[in-house]
Amino acid sequence: WSSDVCSSDLRKLSRGRAVRLEIVSGSENGLQEFERFVDQHADQWRAEGRGGHFHSWPDGLEFHRTLIRTKGLRERLMFVRLVVDGQVVANRYIFRSGRCLYSELPSRLVGGDWDQLGLGTTSYFKFIEAAIGLGISEVNSGLGHYDYKVRLGGQQVVVRSEEHTSELQSPYVISY
């Protein structure tokens, strides 16, 4: 992929439409936006016959709800939304720490014309554009192998996970 592909997708998306990028942050706005994000994320994965992140992980949704309500993290919660004609067509759930953004999950509209407009790629490039505008110097886009991230120059690192248990606690996983 190249900037030419993204430029072409953005031109198609912008043709006859008002396109803008919005950043939602702050504790109350972020908490409300999270629920909208969850719905869009679930719809995206349901269209592929899969459950998505919050369905795939036991108690995943409740974990993230607890996470975003945690005092120290609530102020770091952000969403970068791609809005077309007043409708959120793509969204990214993020935490900010200094000059680093930790992108938790993306979501986008699916079906009909939306599938032909490169929303995933376009929203990722717009997310990077927003990060640069915020003075961000590092973006962590999460664990896992994603071909498009490698093609865009992303660097993969080896992650090791260990599971620890005790008779007193439930298991927990540490990744590093």
Write the pLDDT tens digit of every residue in 21-63: 999 987 778 888 999 999 999 999 988 888 788 877 788 899 9
Q: Measured in whole angstroms, how far is the alpha carbon of residue 101 from the centre of its chain? A: 11
- Residue 94: is it exposed, middle or buried by C-beta count within 10 angstroms (0-12/13-18/19+)? buried
Predicted TM-score of the model (pTM): 0.77
Over residues 136-165, the mean pLDDT reads 71
Provide the pLDDT confidence category of residue 77 given band limits of 50, 70 and 90: very high
Write the pLDDT tens digit of every residue in 153-172: 777 777 665 555 555 555 54
Would you state the pLDDT for residue 16? 80
Interatomic CA distance for residues 117 and 103, integer angstroms = 22
Would you state the pLDDT for residue 57? 79
Would you state the pLDDT for residue 169? 53
Write the pLDDT tens digit of every residue in 78-132: 999 999 999 999 999 999 999 999 999 999 999 888 888 888 888 888 888 899 9
Provide the pLDDT confidence category of residue 1 given band limits of 50, 70 and 90: very low
Instruction: Check: CB of residue 92 under 8 Å from CB of residue 102.
Output: no
Interatomic CA distance for residues 95 and 77, integer angstroms = 5
- Residue 114 token pair: 């939306």
Would you state the pLDDT for residue 17? 80
Would you state the pLDDT for residue 5? 59
Q: Which amino acid is at 122?
A: T
Whether pLDDT at 145 is above 70: no
Would you state the pLDDT for residue 160? 62
